[in-house]
């Protein structure tokens, strides 16, 4: 029966203040998580994801169980993010490979799950190359798949770190999943983007081909990535499939990194009985800390702030599946919003027009007393319109009424406005009776009729234009 031997290595790199990558290396499950968000969020997210993944996977070591474990990990990160505003928005990638049993002799069946842009590779020894098993959930990778970018262009694209899927961003996530039947001698590599940003696939393949020792291969990859720049946290896990005759650790559980700057490092000798041997390389120049699962507390978000560390990334939450249904819901919501907004806008405009058309006032226009439809000075975009220009002029009126007319004297209807014109003409007559014999309305009257001196009677309906409706 085949066995699995895993080894992990990591380094903070030269530009990051902290290491937000977490690697898991056990004899049946390996994982890499690249956390992001906040000064501590990335570390917390990656750590929660890996721990929850391992706990859930150990309850159901099947392919379905590993996929479910990734979903459990997502939910755990999401819940923690929602419950702690200091960690709001944190997320992590997750690439994991787990033994799922039921393999025939001399084979090892692994299930592989992936969310984000950490990667899994299979070493192709005869071809002297590595084969990428996972698809990056990133904007540029999708552009490459659609033919908009070449792989070389994607490698230097400024948006290459923008993810389309990550753990902890939404309540549910859909991991990609594969099953692999591996023979003894097979070698897998899990890594964060800190490795692939610095090294080409052929360089990675050469290291995996040259170094037979699992642990040394892992540390050599990290050391070489540091040599090339070390601009991000670098984390790798190398998995070797061994034949049943080869010795292997029985129940190794290794999580790296677990040391939180500013906190005391875990004391040696604190390993639990479940951990019998670590397969993480210890003699390399790569600085790392190893601790068995369960002996290191999660970093507290209340810890003293450190130098800013955050992967330059903008998460683009991917629509939950079923994708079509999610898109449809979004489209319906947008359409409903537009319809309601248009209805409210149209209704408001209708009320304004109705109010304007139902309003009349008497004022002065071109030196004559005039009946207007609308509001004095206009209402929003609606200007008053002339309904009837009478023969009355300011000399025919009391001076005080002229002042009011200049401002516009509002009435509730067209008929009320005509009555007002009539009353205005009478007031002058009543106050200055002696002038009535000689002060008649002007023959210039267009629509009004002069009866007594200075008295204007309301024009008949046929003599006026009437309000514009």
Binding site for Mg ion (CB under 5 A): 34, 192-194, 232
In the numeric block, which tokens belong to residue 325?
A: 């249904």
d(CA 454, CA 276): 118
Give least dist CB 181 to Mg ion, A: 30
| Half-sphere CA count of 100, side-chain side, radius 13 A | 21
By C-beta, is 25 or 191 nearer to Mg ion? Answer: 191
> What phi, psi does 360 have (nearest 5°)?
-135, 155
Q: For the CB of residue 205, give the shortest distance to Mg ion in the complex, in Å.
A: 21
Nearer to Mg ion, 221 or 409 (CB): 221
Q: How far apart are CA 234 and CA 192, in angstroms?
A: 6
What minimum distance in Å lies between the beta carbon of 294 and Mg ion? 26
Q: Are 178 and 112 in contact (CB under 8 A)?
A: yes
Q: Are strands 409-411 and 94-99 parallel, antiparallel or unpaired?
A: unpaired
Residue whose CB is less far from Mg ion, 43 or 193? 193
Residue with tokens 């005080």: 400
264, 340, 334: which is closest to 299 by C-alpha? 264
- Long-range contacts at 295-300 (CB < 8 A, ≥ 24 apart): 295/266, 295/270, 295/271, 296/255, 296/258, 296/259, 296/266, 298/44, 298/47, 298/48, 299/40, 299/43, 299/44, 299/47, 299/260, 299/263, 300/40
| Sign of the alpha-carbon dihedral angle for 128, 134, 140, 143 | positive
Is the dihedral angle over the CA atoms 322, 113, 206, 16 positive or is it negative? positive
Q: For Mg ion, give the closer residue by CB, 46 or 54.
A: 46
Q: How far is the CB of 225 from Mg ion (least distance, A)?
A: 11
CA angle 307-157-205, nearest 5°? 85
* Angle between the N-to-C axes of helices 63-83 and 41-59, in degrees from 0 to 180, rounded to the nearest 10: 150
Residue 193 or 240 having the CB closest to Mg ion: 193
Least gap, CB of 344 to Mg ion (angstroms): 47
Here the tokens at position 66 are: 């590993």
Which of 34, 252 has the CB closer to Mg ion? 34
Residue 11 or 193: the one with the smaller Cβ distance to Mg ion is 193
- Which candidate, 43, 4, 8, 49, places its Cα nearest to that of 25? 8
Least distance (Å) between residue 193 CB and Mg ion: 4
CA separation for the pair 160, 141 (Å, rounded): 8
Question: Helical H runs in 18-62?
Answer: 41-59
Least separation in angstroms between residue 310's CB and Mg ion is 11
Q: In this complex, which beta carbon is closest to Mg ion, that of residue 3 or of residue 160? A: 160
**Smallest separation, CB 192 to Mg ion (Å):** 5
Quote the least distance from Cβ 111 to Mg ion, whole Å: 24
CB of 311 to Mg ion, least distance (A): 5
Residue 231 or 457 with smaller CB distance to Mg ion: 231
Toward Mg ion, which CB reaches closer, 192 or 425? Answer: 192
């Amino acid at each position: 029966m085949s066995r699995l031997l895993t080894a992990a290595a990591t380094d903070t790199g030269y530009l990051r203040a902290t290491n937000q990558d977490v690697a898991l290396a056990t004899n049946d499950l390996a994982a890499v998580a690249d956390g992001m968000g906040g000064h501590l969020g990335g570390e917390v997210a990656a750590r929660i994801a890996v721990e929850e993944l391992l706990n859930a996977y150990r309850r159901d070591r099947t392919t379905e169980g590993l996929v479910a474990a990734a979903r459990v990990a997502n939910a755990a990160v999401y819940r923690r993010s929602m419950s702690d505003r200091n960690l709001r928005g944190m997320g992590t990638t997750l690439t994991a490979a787990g033994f799922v049993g039921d393999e025939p002799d001399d084979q090892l069946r692994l299930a592989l799950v992936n969310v984000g842009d950490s990667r899994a590779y299979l070493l192709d020894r005869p071809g002297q190359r590595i084969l990428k098993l996972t698809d990056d959930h990133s904007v540029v990778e999708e552009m490459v798949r659609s033919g908009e970018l070449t792989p070389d262009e994607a490698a230097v694209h400024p948006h290459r770190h923008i993810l389309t899927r990550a753990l902890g961003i939404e309540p549910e996530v859909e991991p990609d999943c594969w099953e692999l039947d591996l023979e003894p001698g097979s070698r897998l590599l899990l890594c964060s983007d800190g490795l692939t940003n610095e090294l080409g696939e052929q360089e990675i393949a050469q290291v995996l081909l040259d170094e037979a020792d699992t642990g040394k291969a892992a540390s050599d990859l990290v050391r070489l990535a540091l040599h090339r720049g070390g601009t991000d946290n670098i984390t790798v896990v190398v998995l070797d499939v061994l034949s049943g005759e080869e010795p292997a650790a029985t129940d190794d559980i290794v999580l790296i990194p677990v040391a939180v700057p500013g906190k005391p490092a875990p004391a040696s000798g604190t390993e639990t009985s479940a951990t019998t041997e670590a397969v993480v390389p210890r003699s390399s120049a790569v600085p790392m800390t190893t601790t068995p699962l369960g002996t290191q507390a999660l970093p507290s978000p209340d810890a003293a702030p450190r130098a800013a560390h955050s992967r330059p990334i903008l998460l683009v939450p991917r629509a939950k599946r079923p994708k079509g249904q999610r898109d449809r819901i979004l489209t319906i919501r947008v359409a409903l919003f537009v319809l309601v907004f248009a209805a409210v806008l149209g209704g408001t405009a209708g009320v304004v027009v109705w109010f304007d058309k139902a309003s009349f006032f008497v004022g002065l226009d071109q030196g004559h007393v005039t009946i207007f439809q609308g509001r004095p000075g206009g209402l929003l975009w609606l200007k008053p319109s002339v309904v009837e220009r009478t023969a009355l002029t300011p000399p025919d009126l009391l001076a005080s009424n002229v002042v009011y007319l200049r401002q516009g004297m509002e009435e509730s209807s067209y008929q009320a406005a005509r009555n007002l014109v009539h009353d205005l003409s009478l007031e002058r007559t009543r106050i200055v009776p002696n002038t009535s014999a000689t002060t008649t309305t002007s023959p210039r009257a267009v629509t009004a009729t002069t009866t007594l001196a200075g008295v204007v009677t309301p024009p008949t309906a046929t003599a006026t234009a009437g309000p514009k409706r």
